[in-house]
Amino acid sequence: MEKIKPPLSDLPIKTADKGFYNGFSLDVTVTSKLAVGGLVLWAVAFPEQAGGVLGGLNTFILANFASWYIYVMAFFVIVCLALAAWPAAGKLRLGHDDERPEFDNFSWFSMMFGAGIGVGMLTWAVAEPIYHFRNNPEVIQGLADGESMNNFMNAYKYSYLHWGFSAWSSYAIAGLALGYFTYRRGLPLTIRSSLTPLFGKALSGPLGHLVDIVAVIATILGVAQTLGFGVEQFVAGMSKIGIGDWLVTEEGNASSAGIVVALVVIMGASTLSALSGVGKGIKWLSNINMALSIFLLAFLMIFGSTWFGMQALFMGMIDYIIALPKMLFTVYRPDGSETGDALSGWQGAWTVFYWAWWVAFAPFVGLFLARISRGRTIREFVLGAMIVPSIMCFVWFSFAGGTAIDMELSGIANGEIFASTDGAKIFTMTGIMLGDVLGWCMAVIIVILLMTYLVTSADSAVLIVNTINAAGDEGPKARPHIIFWGVTLGVVVGALLLVGGLTAIQTAMVIGALPFSVVMLLMCFGLFKAIYRDGLRARHGVPSVTVEMPPAE
Protein backbone atom coordinates (compact mmCIF):
# COMPACT_ATOMS: atom_id res chain seq x y z
CA MET A 1 0.00 0.00 0.00
CA GLU A 2 1.29 3.44 -0.94
CA LYS A 3 2.50 5.50 2.00
CA ILE A 4 0.64 8.82 2.34
CA LYS A 5 3.19 11.64 2.32
CA PRO A 6 2.77 15.19 3.59
CA PRO A 7 2.12 17.75 0.81
CA LEU A 8 4.88 19.71 -0.87
CA SER A 9 5.35 22.87 1.20
CA ASP A 10 8.63 24.18 -0.14
CA LEU A 11 9.07 25.53 -3.66
CA PRO A 12 12.28 27.54 -3.82
CA ILE A 13 12.36 30.15 -6.60
CA LYS A 14 15.73 31.75 -7.25
CA THR A 15 15.68 35.53 -6.81
CA ALA A 16 18.42 38.15 -7.05
CA ASP A 17 19.97 39.01 -3.66
CA LYS A 18 21.40 42.39 -4.60
CA GLY A 19 21.27 45.18 -7.15
CA PHE A 20 18.33 46.67 -9.00
CA TYR A 21 16.45 43.34 -9.14
CA ASN A 22 16.98 42.46 -5.48
CA GLY A 23 14.14 40.14 -4.41
CA PHE A 24 12.92 39.54 -7.98
CA SER A 25 13.21 36.47 -10.19
CA LEU A 26 15.47 37.61 -13.01
CA ASP A 27 14.15 34.92 -15.37
CA VAL A 28 10.53 35.98 -14.97
CA THR A 29 10.97 39.75 -14.59
CA VAL A 30 13.44 40.40 -17.40
CA THR A 31 11.74 38.04 -19.86
CA SER A 32 8.32 39.61 -19.13
CA LYS A 33 9.72 43.13 -19.59
CA LEU A 34 11.41 42.18 -22.86
CA ALA A 35 8.25 40.50 -24.22
CA VAL A 36 5.92 43.38 -23.33
CA GLY A 37 8.48 46.03 -24.31
CA GLY A 38 9.06 44.26 -27.64
CA LEU A 39 5.32 44.29 -28.37
CA VAL A 40 5.14 48.05 -27.72
CA LEU A 41 8.23 48.88 -29.80
CA TRP A 42 6.96 46.72 -32.66
CA ALA A 43 3.51 48.35 -32.58
CA VAL A 44 5.00 51.86 -32.56
CA ALA A 45 7.86 51.30 -35.05
CA PHE A 46 5.95 49.15 -37.57
CA PRO A 47 2.26 49.92 -37.04
CA GLU A 48 1.02 48.53 -40.37
CA GLN A 49 3.01 45.31 -40.07
CA ALA A 50 1.95 44.89 -36.41
CA GLY A 51 -1.69 45.46 -37.31
CA GLY A 52 -1.51 42.95 -40.16
CA VAL A 53 0.24 40.21 -38.18
CA LEU A 54 -2.01 40.64 -35.13
CA GLY A 55 -5.09 40.59 -37.37
CA GLY A 56 -3.91 37.40 -39.09
CA LEU A 57 -3.22 35.68 -35.78
CA ASN A 58 -6.61 36.77 -34.46
CA THR A 59 -8.36 35.32 -37.53
CA PHE A 60 -6.42 32.05 -37.11
CA ILE A 61 -7.30 31.77 -33.39
CA LEU A 62 -10.99 32.53 -33.95
CA ALA A 63 -11.10 29.97 -36.76
CA ASN A 64 -9.27 27.21 -34.86
CA PHE A 65 -9.68 27.87 -31.13
CA ALA A 66 -13.18 29.33 -30.77
CA SER A 67 -14.54 25.95 -29.63
CA TRP A 68 -11.60 25.60 -27.19
CA TYR A 69 -12.54 28.86 -25.45
CA ILE A 70 -16.25 27.90 -25.36
CA TYR A 71 -15.66 24.45 -23.87
CA VAL A 72 -12.93 25.44 -21.42
CA MET A 73 -15.12 28.19 -19.91
CA ALA A 74 -18.02 25.73 -19.61
CA PHE A 75 -15.64 23.39 -17.78
CA PHE A 76 -14.70 26.17 -15.31
CA VAL A 77 -18.36 26.66 -14.36
CA ILE A 78 -18.78 22.92 -13.77
CA VAL A 79 -15.58 22.80 -11.67
CA CYS A 80 -16.76 25.63 -9.41
CA LEU A 81 -20.16 24.02 -8.82
CA ALA A 82 -18.48 20.66 -8.14
CA LEU A 83 -16.06 22.17 -5.61
CA ALA A 84 -18.87 23.95 -3.76
CA ALA A 85 -20.97 20.76 -3.66
CA TRP A 86 -18.10 18.39 -2.74
CA PRO A 87 -18.39 17.91 1.05
CA ALA A 88 -14.68 17.17 1.52
CA ALA A 89 -13.73 20.36 -0.33
CA GLY A 90 -16.39 22.85 0.72
CA LYS A 91 -15.43 23.11 4.39
CA LEU A 92 -11.66 23.45 3.88
CA ARG A 93 -10.27 26.92 4.61
CA LEU A 94 -7.87 29.01 2.56
CA GLY A 95 -5.48 29.06 5.45
CA HIS A 96 -5.13 27.36 8.83
CA ASP A 97 -8.22 25.41 9.93
CA ASP A 98 -8.81 27.91 12.77
CA GLU A 99 -8.32 31.06 10.66
CA ARG A 100 -11.09 33.57 10.00
CA PRO A 101 -11.39 36.16 7.18
CA GLU A 102 -9.26 39.31 7.35
CA PHE A 103 -11.85 41.57 5.64
CA ASP A 104 -15.56 41.94 6.40
CA ASN A 105 -18.03 40.98 3.69
CA PHE A 106 -18.72 44.55 2.48
CA SER A 107 -15.03 45.33 1.94
CA TRP A 108 -14.50 41.86 0.43
CA PHE A 109 -17.29 42.31 -2.12
CA SER A 110 -16.23 45.92 -2.81
CA MET A 111 -12.65 45.01 -3.64
CA MET A 112 -13.68 41.90 -5.55
CA PHE A 113 -16.22 43.75 -7.67
CA GLY A 114 -14.11 46.88 -8.22
CA ALA A 115 -10.96 45.06 -9.31
CA GLY A 116 -12.72 42.30 -11.20
CA ILE A 117 -15.26 43.92 -13.44
CA GLY A 118 -16.12 47.45 -12.31
CA VAL A 119 -14.76 49.39 -15.28
CA GLY A 120 -16.69 47.27 -17.75
CA MET A 121 -19.96 48.02 -15.98
CA LEU A 122 -19.89 51.69 -16.90
CA THR A 123 -19.23 50.97 -20.57
CA TRP A 124 -21.16 47.79 -21.19
CA ALA A 125 -24.12 47.93 -18.78
CA VAL A 126 -25.73 50.33 -21.27
CA ALA A 127 -23.90 49.47 -24.50
CA GLU A 128 -24.23 45.67 -24.53
CA PRO A 129 -27.99 45.24 -23.90
CA ILE A 130 -28.59 47.97 -26.50
CA TYR A 131 -26.42 46.09 -29.00
CA HIS A 132 -28.01 42.68 -28.36
CA PHE A 133 -31.45 44.34 -28.52
CA ARG A 134 -30.61 45.06 -32.16
CA ASN A 135 -28.77 41.84 -33.03
CA ASN A 136 -28.09 38.43 -31.46
CA PRO A 137 -28.25 34.75 -32.54
CA GLU A 138 -32.08 34.69 -32.33
CA VAL A 139 -32.31 37.72 -34.64
CA ILE A 140 -29.74 36.23 -37.04
CA GLN A 141 -31.77 32.99 -37.20
CA GLY A 142 -35.04 34.88 -37.75
CA LEU A 143 -36.52 33.81 -34.38
CA ALA A 144 -36.86 37.39 -33.09
CA ASP A 145 -36.95 40.90 -34.53
CA GLY A 146 -34.21 43.44 -33.79
CA GLU A 147 -35.27 46.53 -31.80
CA SER A 148 -38.65 45.02 -30.88
CA MET A 149 -40.20 43.77 -27.64
CA ASN A 150 -40.01 40.12 -28.72
CA ASN A 151 -36.21 40.51 -28.61
CA PHE A 152 -36.05 42.27 -25.22
CA MET A 153 -35.29 39.19 -23.09
CA ASN A 154 -32.75 37.88 -25.61
CA ALA A 155 -30.73 41.06 -25.09
CA TYR A 156 -30.43 40.15 -21.41
CA LYS A 157 -29.89 36.45 -21.87
CA TYR A 158 -26.70 37.13 -23.83
CA SER A 159 -25.56 40.06 -21.69
CA TYR A 160 -25.88 37.89 -18.58
CA LEU A 161 -24.09 35.02 -20.33
CA HIS A 162 -21.01 37.20 -20.89
CA TRP A 163 -20.91 38.92 -17.48
CA GLY A 164 -22.34 36.23 -15.21
CA PHE A 165 -21.28 32.88 -13.80
CA SER A 166 -18.78 32.05 -16.56
CA ALA A 167 -16.68 35.17 -16.01
CA TRP A 168 -16.63 34.81 -12.25
CA SER A 169 -16.00 31.07 -12.29
CA SER A 170 -12.72 31.67 -14.13
CA TYR A 171 -11.70 34.25 -11.51
CA ALA A 172 -12.79 31.93 -8.69
CA ILE A 173 -10.67 29.04 -10.00
CA ALA A 174 -7.53 31.18 -10.30
CA GLY A 175 -8.10 32.73 -6.87
CA LEU A 176 -8.93 29.43 -5.20
CA ALA A 177 -5.88 27.65 -6.61
CA LEU A 178 -3.57 30.44 -5.48
CA GLY A 179 -5.18 30.84 -2.05
CA TYR A 180 -5.24 27.10 -1.38
CA PHE A 181 -1.59 26.42 -2.08
CA THR A 182 -0.30 29.65 -0.56
CA TYR A 183 -2.31 29.82 2.65
CA ARG A 184 -2.57 26.08 3.39
CA ARG A 185 0.77 24.89 2.04
CA GLY A 186 2.89 27.99 2.58
CA LEU A 187 3.95 28.02 -1.07
CA PRO A 188 4.80 31.32 -2.84
CA LEU A 189 1.80 33.46 -3.88
CA THR A 190 2.48 33.02 -7.57
CA ILE A 191 0.81 31.16 -10.42
CA ARG A 192 3.23 28.24 -10.59
CA SER A 193 2.38 27.15 -7.01
CA SER A 194 -1.11 26.10 -8.15
CA LEU A 195 0.40 23.41 -10.39
CA THR A 196 2.55 21.70 -7.71
CA PRO A 197 0.25 18.64 -7.38
CA LEU A 198 0.96 17.92 -11.07
CA PHE A 199 4.62 18.90 -11.54
CA GLY A 200 6.08 19.12 -8.02
CA LYS A 201 9.54 20.63 -7.54
CA ALA A 202 10.11 20.89 -11.31
CA LEU A 203 8.25 24.21 -11.00
CA SER A 204 11.27 25.74 -9.27
CA GLY A 205 13.02 25.80 -12.65
CA PRO A 206 12.29 26.83 -16.27
CA LEU A 207 8.80 25.25 -16.34
CA GLY A 208 7.70 27.40 -13.40
CA HIS A 209 9.32 30.49 -14.91
CA LEU A 210 7.37 29.90 -18.14
CA VAL A 211 4.06 29.59 -16.25
CA ASP A 212 4.67 32.89 -14.43
CA ILE A 213 5.80 34.70 -17.60
CA VAL A 214 2.63 33.57 -19.41
CA ALA A 215 0.60 34.88 -16.45
CA VAL A 216 2.36 38.28 -16.44
CA ILE A 217 1.86 38.78 -20.19
CA ALA A 218 -1.81 37.70 -19.99
CA THR A 219 -2.34 40.08 -17.04
CA ILE A 220 -0.81 43.08 -18.82
CA LEU A 221 -2.84 42.44 -21.99
CA GLY A 222 -6.08 41.68 -20.11
CA VAL A 223 -5.82 44.83 -18.01
CA ALA A 224 -4.80 46.79 -21.13
CA GLN A 225 -8.12 45.75 -22.68
CA THR A 226 -10.03 47.04 -19.66
CA LEU A 227 -8.06 50.28 -19.59
CA GLY A 228 -8.55 50.69 -23.33
CA PHE A 229 -12.34 50.67 -22.93
CA GLY A 230 -12.01 52.87 -19.85
CA VAL A 231 -9.80 55.46 -21.55
CA GLU A 232 -12.27 55.79 -24.45
CA GLN A 233 -15.10 56.32 -21.96
CA PHE A 234 -13.07 58.63 -19.72
CA VAL A 235 -12.30 60.85 -22.72
CA ALA A 236 -15.99 60.82 -23.74
CA GLY A 237 -16.91 61.85 -20.19
CA MET A 238 -14.35 64.67 -20.03
CA SER A 239 -15.66 65.93 -23.37
CA LYS A 240 -19.26 65.81 -22.05
CA ILE A 241 -18.39 67.92 -19.01
CA GLY A 242 -16.74 70.52 -21.23
CA ILE A 243 -13.00 69.93 -20.81
CA GLY A 244 -12.49 70.47 -24.56
CA ASP A 245 -13.59 69.39 -28.05
CA TRP A 246 -10.00 68.45 -28.86
CA LEU A 247 -10.41 65.32 -26.75
CA VAL A 248 -12.58 63.59 -29.38
CA THR A 249 -12.60 63.20 -33.16
CA GLU A 250 -15.52 64.15 -35.40
CA GLU A 251 -16.72 60.54 -35.23
CA GLY A 252 -16.92 60.78 -31.42
CA ASN A 253 -13.90 58.55 -30.68
CA ALA A 254 -11.00 59.56 -28.43
CA SER A 255 -8.38 61.67 -30.23
CA SER A 256 -4.66 60.95 -29.92
CA ALA A 257 -4.25 63.92 -27.56
CA GLY A 258 -7.25 62.75 -25.51
CA ILE A 259 -5.78 59.25 -25.16
CA VAL A 260 -2.41 60.61 -23.99
CA VAL A 261 -3.95 63.03 -21.45
CA ALA A 262 -6.30 60.36 -20.06
CA LEU A 263 -3.49 57.82 -19.69
CA VAL A 264 -1.18 60.32 -17.96
CA VAL A 265 -3.92 61.16 -15.43
CA ILE A 266 -5.06 57.55 -14.84
CA MET A 267 -1.66 55.87 -14.71
CA GLY A 268 -0.16 58.68 -12.60
CA ALA A 269 -2.90 58.27 -10.00
CA SER A 270 -2.78 54.47 -10.09
CA THR A 271 1.00 54.36 -9.68
CA LEU A 272 0.75 56.61 -6.60
CA SER A 273 -1.99 54.33 -5.23
CA ALA A 274 0.08 51.20 -5.94
CA LEU A 275 2.97 52.69 -3.99
CA SER A 276 0.68 52.85 -0.94
CA GLY A 277 -0.26 49.12 -1.08
CA VAL A 278 -3.49 47.08 -0.83
CA GLY A 279 -4.41 47.88 2.75
CA LYS A 280 -4.42 51.65 2.23
CA GLY A 281 -4.85 53.05 -1.28
CA ILE A 282 -6.68 50.19 -2.96
CA LYS A 283 -9.08 49.47 -0.08
CA TRP A 284 -9.84 53.19 0.29
CA LEU A 285 -10.49 53.63 -3.45
CA SER A 286 -12.58 50.43 -3.60
CA ASN A 287 -14.90 51.68 -0.86
CA ILE A 288 -15.27 55.08 -2.61
CA ASN A 289 -16.20 53.53 -5.93
CA MET A 290 -18.58 51.08 -4.25
CA ALA A 291 -20.39 54.03 -2.60
CA LEU A 292 -20.54 55.99 -5.88
CA SER A 293 -21.68 52.85 -7.73
CA ILE A 294 -24.53 52.38 -5.24
CA PHE A 295 -25.52 56.05 -5.69
CA LEU A 296 -25.57 55.79 -9.51
CA LEU A 297 -27.41 52.46 -9.42
CA ALA A 298 -29.99 53.84 -6.95
CA PHE A 299 -30.53 56.81 -9.27
CA LEU A 300 -31.17 54.49 -12.24
CA MET A 301 -33.46 52.23 -10.17
CA ILE A 302 -35.57 55.14 -8.88
CA PHE A 303 -35.54 57.62 -11.77
CA GLY A 304 -34.89 55.26 -14.68
CA SER A 305 -37.27 52.70 -16.16
CA THR A 306 -37.91 50.91 -12.87
CA TRP A 307 -40.55 48.43 -14.01
CA PHE A 308 -38.69 47.71 -17.23
CA GLY A 309 -35.52 47.12 -15.22
CA MET A 310 -37.28 44.78 -12.77
CA GLN A 311 -38.57 42.71 -15.69
CA ALA A 312 -35.10 42.59 -17.22
CA LEU A 313 -33.57 41.51 -13.91
CA PHE A 314 -35.94 38.75 -12.82
CA MET A 315 -37.26 37.45 -16.15
CA GLY A 316 -33.82 37.86 -17.70
CA MET A 317 -32.19 35.84 -14.89
CA ILE A 318 -34.77 33.06 -15.27
CA ASP A 319 -34.25 32.95 -19.05
CA TYR A 320 -30.46 33.01 -18.55
CA ILE A 321 -30.40 30.15 -16.00
CA ILE A 322 -32.74 27.99 -18.12
CA ALA A 323 -30.72 28.63 -21.29
CA LEU A 324 -27.29 28.50 -19.62
CA PRO A 325 -26.48 24.78 -20.18
CA LYS A 326 -27.20 25.11 -23.90
CA MET A 327 -25.45 28.48 -24.27
CA LEU A 328 -22.33 27.23 -22.47
CA PHE A 329 -21.79 24.41 -24.97
CA THR A 330 -23.10 25.91 -28.24
CA VAL A 331 -20.39 26.51 -30.85
CA TYR A 332 -21.40 28.25 -34.08
CA ARG A 333 -19.18 27.15 -36.95
CA PRO A 334 -18.94 28.93 -40.31
CA ASP A 335 -20.57 26.70 -42.96
CA GLY A 336 -20.60 28.96 -46.01
CA SER A 337 -24.23 29.96 -45.52
CA GLU A 338 -25.17 33.53 -44.70
CA THR A 339 -26.77 32.52 -41.38
CA GLY A 340 -23.99 30.14 -40.32
CA ASP A 341 -21.25 32.65 -41.06
CA ALA A 342 -23.16 35.44 -39.30
CA LEU A 343 -23.64 33.28 -36.18
CA SER A 344 -19.95 32.34 -36.15
CA GLY A 345 -18.95 36.00 -36.61
CA TRP A 346 -21.24 37.09 -33.77
CA GLN A 347 -19.84 34.46 -31.41
CA GLY A 348 -16.24 35.33 -32.29
CA ALA A 349 -16.81 39.05 -31.78
CA TRP A 350 -18.71 38.63 -28.51
CA THR A 351 -18.54 35.32 -26.63
CA VAL A 352 -15.05 34.18 -27.67
CA PHE A 353 -13.71 37.72 -27.16
CA TYR A 354 -15.20 37.85 -23.65
CA TRP A 355 -13.96 34.36 -22.72
CA ALA A 356 -10.44 35.35 -23.79
CA TRP A 357 -10.75 38.62 -21.84
CA TRP A 358 -11.81 36.86 -18.64
CA VAL A 359 -9.04 34.27 -18.98
CA ALA A 360 -6.46 37.03 -19.52
CA PHE A 361 -7.90 38.86 -16.50
CA ALA A 362 -7.90 35.72 -14.31
CA PRO A 363 -4.27 35.78 -13.06
CA PHE A 364 -4.74 39.40 -11.99
CA VAL A 365 -8.18 39.05 -10.39
CA GLY A 366 -7.40 35.55 -9.08
CA LEU A 367 -4.23 36.61 -7.31
CA PHE A 368 -6.01 39.67 -5.93
CA LEU A 369 -8.95 37.52 -4.74
CA ALA A 370 -6.54 35.14 -3.03
CA ARG A 371 -4.91 38.02 -1.18
CA ILE A 372 -8.22 39.34 0.18
CA SER A 373 -9.85 35.94 0.89
CA ARG A 374 -7.50 34.27 3.36
CA GLY A 375 -9.46 32.45 6.08
CA ARG A 376 -12.59 31.79 4.00
CA THR A 377 -13.84 28.27 3.26
CA ILE A 378 -13.73 26.91 -0.29
CA ARG A 379 -17.54 26.81 -0.46
CA GLU A 380 -17.84 30.37 0.87
CA PHE A 381 -15.14 31.58 -1.53
CA VAL A 382 -16.48 29.85 -4.66
CA LEU A 383 -20.13 30.76 -4.13
CA GLY A 384 -19.27 34.26 -2.90
CA ALA A 385 -16.91 34.98 -5.78
CA MET A 386 -19.15 33.40 -8.42
CA ILE A 387 -22.71 34.35 -7.46
CA VAL A 388 -22.69 37.69 -5.59
CA PRO A 389 -20.69 39.70 -8.18
CA SER A 390 -22.70 38.05 -11.00
CA ILE A 391 -25.95 39.26 -9.42
CA MET A 392 -24.42 42.75 -9.04
CA CYS A 393 -23.65 42.68 -12.76
CA PHE A 394 -27.21 41.56 -13.55
CA VAL A 395 -28.66 44.42 -11.49
CA TRP A 396 -26.44 46.96 -13.26
CA PHE A 397 -27.29 45.65 -16.72
CA SER A 398 -31.01 45.42 -16.03
CA PHE A 399 -31.49 48.98 -14.79
CA ALA A 400 -28.85 50.80 -16.86
CA GLY A 401 -29.46 48.90 -20.10
CA GLY A 402 -33.20 48.54 -19.47
CA THR A 403 -33.59 52.29 -19.09
CA ALA A 404 -31.71 52.86 -22.36
CA ILE A 405 -33.81 50.27 -24.24
CA ASP A 406 -37.05 51.70 -22.83
CA MET A 407 -36.03 55.25 -23.85
CA GLU A 408 -35.33 54.08 -27.40
CA LEU A 409 -38.51 51.99 -27.62
CA SER A 410 -40.68 54.88 -26.38
CA GLY A 411 -39.03 57.39 -28.72
CA ILE A 412 -37.71 59.60 -25.90
CA ALA A 413 -34.10 59.02 -26.94
CA ASN A 414 -34.96 59.37 -30.65
CA GLY A 415 -32.03 57.14 -31.68
CA GLU A 416 -29.41 59.21 -29.81
CA ILE A 417 -28.32 56.33 -27.53
CA PHE A 418 -28.11 53.95 -30.51
CA ALA A 419 -25.98 56.53 -32.35
CA SER A 420 -23.52 57.24 -29.51
CA THR A 421 -20.17 55.45 -29.22
CA ASP A 422 -20.08 52.62 -26.66
CA GLY A 423 -18.27 54.75 -24.08
CA ALA A 424 -20.59 57.74 -24.51
CA LYS A 425 -23.90 55.84 -24.28
CA ILE A 426 -24.25 56.21 -20.50
CA PHE A 427 -23.54 59.95 -20.70
CA THR A 428 -26.07 60.37 -23.53
CA MET A 429 -28.72 58.44 -21.58
CA THR A 430 -28.30 60.35 -18.30
CA GLY A 431 -28.10 63.65 -20.22
CA ILE A 432 -31.50 62.99 -21.86
CA MET A 433 -32.98 61.96 -18.49
CA LEU A 434 -31.74 64.98 -16.52
CA GLY A 435 -31.32 67.85 -18.95
CA ASP A 436 -28.27 70.07 -19.38
CA VAL A 437 -27.42 71.21 -15.82
CA LEU A 438 -28.22 68.06 -13.82
CA GLY A 439 -26.92 65.93 -16.70
CA TRP A 440 -23.60 67.76 -16.44
CA CYS A 441 -23.48 67.07 -12.67
CA MET A 442 -24.21 63.38 -13.25
CA ALA A 443 -21.51 63.24 -15.94
CA VAL A 444 -19.00 64.59 -13.39
CA ILE A 445 -20.02 61.86 -10.89
CA ILE A 446 -19.70 59.15 -13.57
CA VAL A 447 -16.25 60.46 -14.60
CA ILE A 448 -15.09 60.36 -10.94
CA LEU A 449 -16.52 56.84 -10.54
CA LEU A 450 -14.85 55.73 -13.77
CA MET A 451 -11.56 57.24 -12.59
CA THR A 452 -11.68 55.29 -9.30
CA TYR A 453 -12.47 52.04 -11.15
CA LEU A 454 -9.63 52.57 -13.64
CA VAL A 455 -7.15 53.47 -10.91
CA THR A 456 -8.20 50.49 -8.77
CA SER A 457 -7.77 48.09 -11.70
CA ALA A 458 -4.45 49.54 -12.82
CA ASP A 459 -2.81 49.82 -9.39
CA SER A 460 -3.98 46.32 -8.45
CA ALA A 461 -2.51 44.99 -11.69
CA VAL A 462 0.85 46.68 -11.02
CA LEU A 463 1.04 45.13 -7.53
CA ILE A 464 -0.02 41.70 -8.84
CA VAL A 465 2.60 41.72 -11.63
CA ASN A 466 5.28 42.68 -9.12
CA THR A 467 4.15 39.91 -6.74
CA ILE A 468 4.51 37.31 -9.52
CA ASN A 469 7.89 38.75 -10.57
CA ALA A 470 9.08 38.69 -6.93
CA ALA A 471 8.37 34.93 -6.62
CA GLY A 472 5.18 35.55 -4.64
CA ASP A 473 6.60 38.01 -2.13
CA GLU A 474 3.73 40.22 -0.99
CA GLY A 475 5.97 42.68 0.83
CA PRO A 476 6.77 46.21 -0.31
CA LYS A 477 8.36 46.32 -3.75
CA ALA A 478 11.13 48.64 -4.87
CA ARG A 479 9.54 51.86 -6.12
CA PRO A 480 11.28 51.79 -9.53
CA HIS A 481 9.56 48.47 -10.38
CA ILE A 482 6.10 49.76 -9.42
CA ILE A 483 6.72 52.89 -11.49
CA PHE A 484 8.09 50.80 -14.41
CA TRP A 485 4.99 48.61 -14.66
CA GLY A 486 2.67 51.59 -14.14
CA VAL A 487 4.32 53.43 -17.02
CA THR A 488 4.54 50.25 -19.14
CA LEU A 489 0.83 49.50 -18.72
CA GLY A 490 0.00 53.05 -19.82
CA VAL A 491 2.35 52.83 -22.81
CA VAL A 492 0.94 49.42 -23.89
CA VAL A 493 -2.60 50.84 -23.86
CA GLY A 494 -1.54 54.07 -25.57
CA ALA A 495 0.58 52.38 -28.26
CA LEU A 496 -2.07 49.81 -29.19
CA LEU A 497 -4.89 52.41 -29.13
CA LEU A 498 -2.94 54.81 -31.33
CA VAL A 499 -1.86 52.04 -33.74
CA GLY A 500 -5.13 50.21 -34.25
CA GLY A 501 -7.67 51.38 -31.69
CA LEU A 502 -9.46 48.94 -29.40
CA THR A 503 -9.26 46.24 -32.09
CA ALA A 504 -5.46 46.05 -31.74
CA ILE A 505 -5.71 45.62 -27.94
CA GLN A 506 -8.49 43.06 -28.36
CA THR A 507 -6.39 41.05 -30.82
CA ALA A 508 -3.27 41.09 -28.63
CA MET A 509 -5.34 40.05 -25.62
CA VAL A 510 -7.09 37.12 -27.39
CA ILE A 511 -3.64 35.83 -28.45
CA GLY A 512 -2.08 36.36 -24.99
CA ALA A 513 -4.95 34.59 -23.21
CA LEU A 514 -4.64 31.33 -25.16
CA PRO A 515 -1.58 29.86 -23.35
CA PHE A 516 -2.93 30.94 -19.96
CA SER A 517 -6.21 29.10 -20.64
CA VAL A 518 -4.13 25.89 -20.72
CA VAL A 519 -2.53 26.85 -17.38
CA MET A 520 -6.01 27.38 -15.90
CA LEU A 521 -7.18 23.98 -17.10
CA LEU A 522 -4.18 22.43 -15.33
CA MET A 523 -5.06 24.46 -12.20
CA CYS A 524 -8.43 22.67 -12.07
CA PHE A 525 -6.82 19.22 -12.18
CA GLY A 526 -4.24 20.32 -9.62
CA LEU A 527 -6.96 21.47 -7.22
CA PHE A 528 -8.95 18.25 -7.48
CA LYS A 529 -5.85 16.15 -6.96
CA ALA A 530 -4.73 18.23 -3.95
CA ILE A 531 -8.15 18.16 -2.24
CA TYR A 532 -8.53 14.42 -2.83
CA ARG A 533 -5.02 13.75 -1.47
CA ASP A 534 -5.72 15.97 1.56
CA GLY A 535 -8.79 13.85 2.29
CA LEU A 536 -6.58 10.73 2.27
CA ARG A 537 -4.07 12.49 4.55
CA ALA A 538 -6.85 13.39 7.00
CA ARG A 539 -7.97 9.74 7.19
CA HIS A 540 -4.39 8.58 7.82
CA GLY A 541 -3.59 11.26 10.36
CA VAL A 542 -1.07 13.02 8.09
CA PRO A 543 -1.26 16.83 8.43
CA SER A 544 -2.15 18.65 5.19
CA VAL A 545 -1.96 22.23 6.50
CA THR A 546 1.66 23.30 6.71
CA VAL A 547 1.22 26.97 7.67
CA GLU A 548 1.07 28.44 11.15
CA MET A 549 -1.81 30.57 12.38
CA PRO A 550 -0.99 34.22 11.57
CA PRO A 551 -0.30 36.33 14.69
CA ALA A 552 -3.26 38.24 16.10
CA GLU A 553 -3.14 41.96 15.35
Ordered DSSP codes for 252-293: SSBPHHHHHHHHHHHHHHHHHHHHH-IIIIIHHHHHHHHHHH
What's the pLDDT at 288? 77
In a domain, 1, yes or no: no
How does the average pLDDT of the chain come out, rounded? 85
Domains of the chain: total: 1
Q: Is residue 3 part of a domain?
A: no
Give pLDDT tens digits for 223-281. Answer: 888 888 888 888 888 888 877 677 777 766 777 788 888 888 887 777 776 676 555 55
* Distance, CA of 267 to CA of 252 (rounded, Å): 23
Inside any domain, residue 8: no
Does pLDDT of 220 surpass 50? yes
SS3 377: strand
User: Is residue 52 in a domain?
Assistant: yes
Residue 104: band (very low, low, confident or very high) from pLDDT cuts 50, 70, 90? confident
- Give the pLDDT score at 332: 93
Helix (H, G, I), strand (E, B) or coil at 14: coil
* Beta-bridge partners for 248: 254
Domain for residue 381, yes or no?
yes
pLDDT for 252 equals 67
How many angstroms separate the CA atoms of 94 and 242, rounded? 49
Burial 254-291 (b: 16+ CB within 10 A, else e): bbeebbbbbbebbbebbbebbbebbeebbbebbbbbbe
pLDDT attached to residue 482: 80
When mean pLDDT is compared across 57-61, 197-201, 283-287, the lowest value belongs to 283-287
Query: Which CATH number belongs to the domain containing residue 112 in this structure?
Result: 1.20.1740.10
Separation CA 308–CA 398 (nearest Å): 8
Question: Tens digit of pLDDT for each residue in 25-63?
Answer: 999 999 998 998 888 788 778 878 887 887 788 778 877
Higher pLDDT, 47 or 519: 519
Q: For residue 116, which of 374, 467, 368 has the smallest C-alpha distance?
A: 368
215 or 250: which leads in pLDDT? 215
Name the residue with higher pLDDT: 365 or 207.
207
Q: Which range of residues forms the domain containing residue 239? A: 44-539
Q: Please report, rounded to a whole number, the percentage of residues in the chain having pLDDT higher than 90.
A: 37
Q: Residues of the chain with pLDDT > 70: what percent?
A: 93
Question: Can you tell me the distance from the alpha carbon of 415 to that of 418, in angstroms, rounded to the nearest whole number?
Answer: 5
Does the residue 177 lie in any domain?
A: yes
| Length of the chain (residues) | 553
542 pLDDT exceeds 80? Answer: yes
What pLDDT shows up at residue 551?
61
Residue 119: its pLDDT value, please?
Answer: 64
| Pairwise CA distance, residues 258 & 355, whole Å | 29
If one counts every other C-beta atom within 10 angstroms of the C-beta of residue 502, the result is: 18
pLDDT surpasses 70 at 286: no
Query: What is the arithmetic mean of pLDDT over 187-214?
Result: 93
- What is the reported pLDDT for 114? 61
Cα separations in angstroms, 152 against 26, 130, 404? 53, 9, 12
Q: Determine the Cα–Cα distance for residues 165 and 145; give it in Å rounded to an integer.
A: 27
pLDDT at 545: 78
Query: In this structure, is residue 377 part of a structural domain?
Result: yes
Instruction: Please report, for the chain, how many H helices and E strands are present, in that order.
Output: 20, 0
The tens digit of pLDDT for each residue in 128-184 reads 999 999 999 999 999 999 888 899 899 999 999 999 999 999 999 999 999 999 998
Of the CA atoms within 13 Å of residue 187, those in its CB half-sphere come to 30
What pLDDT digit, counting tens, does each position of 400-426 carry? Answer: 999 999 999 888 988 899 998 888 899
Asked if residue 77 has pLDDT above 80, the reply is yes
Residue 546 pLDDT > 80 = no
For residues 286-303, average pLDDT:
84
> Is 25 inside a domain boundary?
no
Cα diameter, the chain: 78
3-state secondary structure string across 176-210: HHHHHHHHCCCCCCCHHHHHHHHHHHHHHCHHHHH
Work out the pLDDT band at 1, boundaries 50, 70, 90: very low
CB 465 within 8 A of CB 12: no
CB 220 within 8 A of CB 496: no
